[in-house]
Amino acid sequence: MQSVLKKIKGCLFKEVLFKGSKSEREHVVLRTDKNETLRLYIIGKNMLFYDINVFENLFKKKLEITGLVDEIRGHLRIGINSLEDVKIIK
C-alpha cells in the first residue's frame, strides 16, 4: 500500500502489538469509529526510544489526525510530522 495523506477520526490508546515477536511492545494506536486500529508514529522519530508519554494528554479523547497512512507487515499505521497534526475534537 502506498502512503496516502488522510484525516482520520478516533481515540488514542496504548496497546501491545506484534505479540510473540521481537517487536512486541506497547505502541500508541488510533482506534477509529469503524473499529480500525492504526499504529501512530511521528515521522523521523524512532518510537522504540521516543517516549510515548508525549501523547499522554491525548489518550481516550476524540481526535482528528492528519497524516500519512500506509501498511507495514500487515498493520495499518499513520505517520504525523508533529503533535500539531493532532486536533482534539472533544
Place of cell 505502541: 27
Split at pLDDT 50, 70, 90, the class of 47 is low
pLDDT at 4 over 70: yes
Cα 82 to chain centroid distance, Å, stands at: 12
Mean pLDDT for all residues in the chain: 89
pLDDT at site 74: 83
pLDDT at 48 over 90: no
Domains in the chain (CATH in brackets) are: 4-88 (2.40.50)
Which residues, at least 6 apart from 79, have a Cβ–Cβ distance to it below 8 Å?
Answer: 3, 41, 42, 43, 67, 68, 70
Q: Note the pTM of the prediction, 2 decimals.
A: 0.85
Average pLDDT on 60-83 reads: 92
4 forms beta bridges with 69
pLDDT at site 64: 97
